[in-house]
Amino acid sequence: MPKVRVGFGLGTHTGAAADPQAFGALCDDLDRLGFDSLWLSERVNGSAPDPLVAMSYVAGRTAHLKFGTSVLVLPGRNPVLLAKALASLDVLSGGRVLPAVGLGAVDPREQAAFGVDRAERGARFDEMIELMRRCWTGDEVTFAGTHYAVEGVRVQPTPVQQPLDLWLGGRARSELRRCGRLGDGWLPSFCDAADVAAGIPVVQEAAAEAGRTMDPEHWGALVAYAKAPLPDAVVAAIEARQPDKRAADLIPIGYDALRARLVELVDAGASKFVVVPVDEPTTWRAELEGLAETVLPLQTR
C-alpha cells in the first residue's frame, strides 16, 4: 500500500510570504505539526516569491520539511544551470527537494516574461528534461538538441536523491501522455477522484510505450479547498474553466469535506497530496493546526 503524504501549498497567496517573520513561522509550524512538504507556485506577474529562492530559505529554516514547486516553469531557463541549482539545493537540504515542473500558466503576460514563443514551449520542455537528467548523473555530458547544446559539461554536486524525480501535472490527454513519457510522478490540480482514476492508466500506457514504468508511490493531486462557500464569481470562473464539472466537485468546503475528498482520491489510486487554501487565512497558525487535526491522520507509515 503506497504511503499517504499530505503537503501544504501556498498557491499564489502572499500574505505569509510577504513578511519574512510570518513565512518563517509558517515553515516552523509545518515542520512542527508533521506536514510532509511545502509547495510554492511560480508567477512572474505577481508578488509570490521566486520558488527557488523560497525553497532555499525553507531548506535553511527547517530540519525535516520537504519542499517542492507547483510548478516550476522550464521553458525560458537554462537547463544546465537549473540542474546545478536543484542538485545543489538537494545536497544542502539532505535530499528534500520535490520539483514539479511544467510549461507555465496559460497567460500571455507570463509566457512573454519567460521569452519563449508559445509554439516552442513543448519541444524546449522535452529537451530540458532529458538534458537535466543527464547532468544529474555526474558524468560528462555532450548534448546536441534543437534548442540546447553543450559539450563536455560535468555538473557537480550530484543530487542526494538518485534519481531526482521530476513530477508533471495536467489532465488533458496530451499532458497525461507527456507525463508517461517523461515524468516520474503525476500531480494534477482541479481534479476529482474520477479524473485521477481515469488519468492513471493513460499515464501508465504512455510510460509502457516509452519503455518506462511509473512508481506506484508517485500518483498525487493538488487539492484546493475553501473554508466558506465560494463567491458566485469564483464559482463561475471555475465552471467556465471546466464546464463539465461543478465547482463543488473540485473544491471541498471545510476541513471535513477536504478529508473526505482525500479519502476518495486515495481510493482512486493517489497517495501524495498538496492542499491549498483558496481564501487567504486570517491566521496561518490556526489554519495549519486545523488542517493537521483533520487531514494529517490520513498519513501512513
Using CB atoms within 10 Å of the CB of residue 242, give its burial: 0 to 12 exposed, 13 to 18 middle, 19+ buried. Answer: middle
CATH of the domain at 9: 3.20.20.30
Residue 205 has a pLDDT of 98
- CA angle 170/176/182 to nearest 5° reads 100
pLDDT at 112 over 80: yes
233-281 pLDDT tens trace: 889 888 888 888 999 889 999 999 999 999 999 999 999 999 999 988 8
Residue 254 maps to a domain: yes
Q: Report if residue 118 sits inside a domain.
A: no
pLDDT at 241: 82
Q: Do the domain assignments include residue 91?
A: no
Distances (CA, A) of 194 to 15, 199, 219, 236, 252: 33, 8, 14, 22, 15
Q: Report the pLDDT value the prediction gives residue 134, as an integer from 0 to 100.
A: 98
**Per-residue pLDDT tens over the stretch 61-86:** 999 999 999 999 999 999 999 999 99
Domain assignment of residue 217, yes or no: yes
Q: Quick one: pLDDT at residue 187?
A: 98
Please report the pLDDT score of residue 242 as a whole number: 84
Considering the domain boundaries, does residue 288 fall inside one? yes
Is 67 inside any structural domain?
yes
Residue positions counted in the chain: 301
Task: Determine contact, residues 176/214, Cβ cutoff 8 Å.
Answer: no
The pLDDT of residue 165 is: 98
pLDDT range class, residue 285, cuts 50, 70, 90: very high
Tell me how far apart the alpha carbons of residues 275 and 262 are, in angstroms, rounded to a whole number. Answer: 9
Region 43-64 average pLDDT: 92
Number of folded domains that form the chain: 1
**Does residue 270 form part of some domain?**
yes
Q: What is this structure's pTM?
A: 0.96
Q: Is residue 120 part of a domain?
A: no
Q: For residues 50 and 236, what is the distance between their CA atoms, to the nearest angstrom?
A: 30
CA–CA distance, 161 with 192 (Å, rounded to integer): 30
Q: Domain range for residue 256?
A: 5-77+166-298
- Indicate whether 286 pLDDT > 90: yes
Instruction: Give the Cα separation of 168 and 146 in Å (integer).
Output: 22
Per residue in 141-183, pLDDT (tens digit) is 999 999 999 999 999 999 999 989 999 999 999 999 999 999 9
